[in-house]
Structure 1
Amino acid sequence: MDTAYGPAPRAPHAPEGRGASRIPFVLRAPFSGRTWREFLHLLLSLPIAVVMFSYAVTMLSLGAGLLITFLGIPVLAAGLLGCRGLGSLERMRAHALLGLDVRAPEPVRTARPGFMGRVGGVLKSGASWRHFLYCLLHFPWAVFAFSVSVTLWTAAWGLFTYPLWRWTFPMYLGQDGIQLYGDGTHGIYLDSPGEIAAASAVGLLLVLVWGGAVRGLSQVDRLLVHGLLGPSRLADRVTELESDRTAVSETAAADLRRIERDLHDGAQARLVALAMDLGLAKEKLQEDPEAAARMVDEAHGEVKIALQELRDLARGIHPAILTDRGLGPALSALAARCTVPVEVSVDLLARPAAAIEGIAYFTVSELLQNVSKHAAARSASVDVWRAEDRLMVLVTDDGRGGAHTGTGSGLAGLAERLDAVDGLLVVDSPAGGPTAVTAELPWRD
């Protein structure tokens, strides 16, 4: 496996500039576009939630009332399908206003074809009932969030801009300003310069509170959308396992192709040539014994080379020393073949499962190949230890650094292999070095 060493791909710039990050959140939140988009989401949530709640309750009531007849079950299924459609619109709204990307849930699976099979699939779908639950729960939350956000918004921005519109009171209402108290004989108004300034200051404080409140309220909306309108954890896990299975299958197929290529181009070709040389030597045995002896001697050398190639190939499939003696001796033998000095430290009181042991061995093998080919290092080290239920492997070198797991690099393929068994690969390789690659694997007895 070849790994690209050099400058790592540069990350895209964040939406907000560096200057904005220096301003405290509480000061910039009320004036950022994100806050106003989230506020718009809260405003739209109330009328949409009313429609969704009314639809869900109506369809549930109608379906439950008709359960004594055959029509109740299809009505319930239709109601759940409608809730899924409304949930799809909610995911689109959350994407547009909250910047939340939520994948569509798993599709309805039908046990048998036909109308009743489809109805049964909808009623058995957990995603359909989660959408129905969202339609019910979102309504009371939308009422609360709308009331709090609109009340804060009107009070905060009204008081903050009070000096700009106070003139409307004496001109159109015949009073000096906002009335704080009145009992028919006298009243208290915000009309003096000090009181106007104090009202504006309170308004500014409420504006800052409003910005944080909108962010907090919209976060609850994010949780509702993500938790009820997206795929379930079980569906995510199934998708992840299917992806891992594909990666494992592709890796196994690539390994088989490599073994076939090595056998065909290496040992097999050498053995075919050896058979031809021995045939020629047999023919010359009577006529020219000396020539035949030389050919047999050459064939003997070819046999040794073929045997070495077969041993190397067998070691690449699964080294015998790993099976017989474990990771410590196997990694020491691996380090002895590296082009730079490698210090190996293995601290394991027991052996993990054979599959995990093999993955750890080949991970170190590929990382040391990278050190030999690309790192321009003078030395390297391999450390292996157990941390609770995880097998930890750390490979470091003092080379030039710049290794990364970007698309197309060898480390990206290695990371995919580890991910297929719930493992993790972390690369720390600044330009100029040193490089530290940590592989974390599950410990399975």
Structure 2
Amino acid sequence: MIEFEATIIGLTHDGRGVARIDNKATFVPGTLPGERVRLVYHKRHRKYDEADLVGIVEASPARVEPKCRHYGQCSGCALQHMAPAAQIAAKQRVLAENFERIGKVTPDAWLPPLAGEPWAYRRKGRFSVRYVAKKERVLVGFREESNPRFVADIEHCEVIHPALGPKVGLIAALVGGLSAAHDIPQIEFAAGDDTVALVFRHLAPLTEADRQALVDFGKAHGLAIYLQPGNHSTVHPLWPEAPRLAFAIPAQDVELEFLPLDFVQVNAGMNQRMLARTLELLDLQPADRVLDLFCGLGNFTLPIARYAAEVVGVEGEHGLVERASANAARNGLGHASFQVANLFEDQRNESWAKQAWDKILLDPPRAGANELLEYLPRKGTDRVVYVSCHPGSLARDAGILVQKGFRLAAAGVMDMFPHTAHVESIALFERR
């Protein structure tokens, strides 16, 4: 292959560098804006090309040595070669560009970026599992960077909770020793404050010997072991008999219990910082009535209840609402209540949608909340805080809220997923 030089002028949404060659975009993993690099073409397309990095002629000042020895092979991280401060600055630029391009809005003020510990932060996730005949062993990990059909061959993960990150290779060896090794396609992990759980999805019944091997592994490493023979409803503990997953929110004296496949914020430390900023932006008063949409387990709802007269959380998944209600009762927060509703369908005739709310919190999935914004917020709402996991949908919805009489008072990014290109952000809208 013929090598050539190019200058990287930007980053894509997935963290690849962008070069412009003969007026055509070329995407290059492992590169940073401002760098002069040597490349070879990987794939050529009609509208864009893909290239592989061969060498760096002039490095960016933001370039650092990746900490993980599997970096570049494993797709779990895309930006370990970029200093953490530069990562968060790049994410702030992505958010600003989305506001300008999609929402046609600009915040009155930019919030200081929120960041935390960039290593061993991930408390929730899913490992892929595959038996590889050529290697005569099982691989456990995330997908390969160069070929997502394959599982990366890793022994250690630097971003996963410290009870699991150093043990990825041991988990692979465990599965490889089971008679059901070919019938386990994935393992989910979830960490509470005191308990770390593994959930083994298995496509065929496990032998008693396999079950004992899993129990022995759990005992040896202090891990709770769950089995999942079918859909989510089939998840059940193998050992111990009744493990308890929970995490505390000390600033508001709240504790939330959850099940291992429930959605919880991946980064425990950043969740605390995000909650503090959310409460600051909501500016809660003792008489406030607050609506928390896409509330999940009550991660925001219950802390809000410590300051407001009433808070109602609305969530589409019945199980999460049941556990949110139980969490409210367990924490003595009787003025926090929960409703089940599909928020991607028109709910304007529901009682909670017709009531007057002083403040609204939105924390939607990637699709955003544009369906809700057709009928909310009503006239009585003077403040909306929007927590977003996708800058494009936030920008679109910001444009809608501005058209409905709000101003984008402030916005900023939160580095919930260090070393990835994922952009988590928060925005405050105030009635004009």
Q: TM-score, normalised by structure 1?
A: 0.20
Q: TM-score, normalised by structure 2?
A: 0.21
Larger Rg: 1
More helix by share: 1
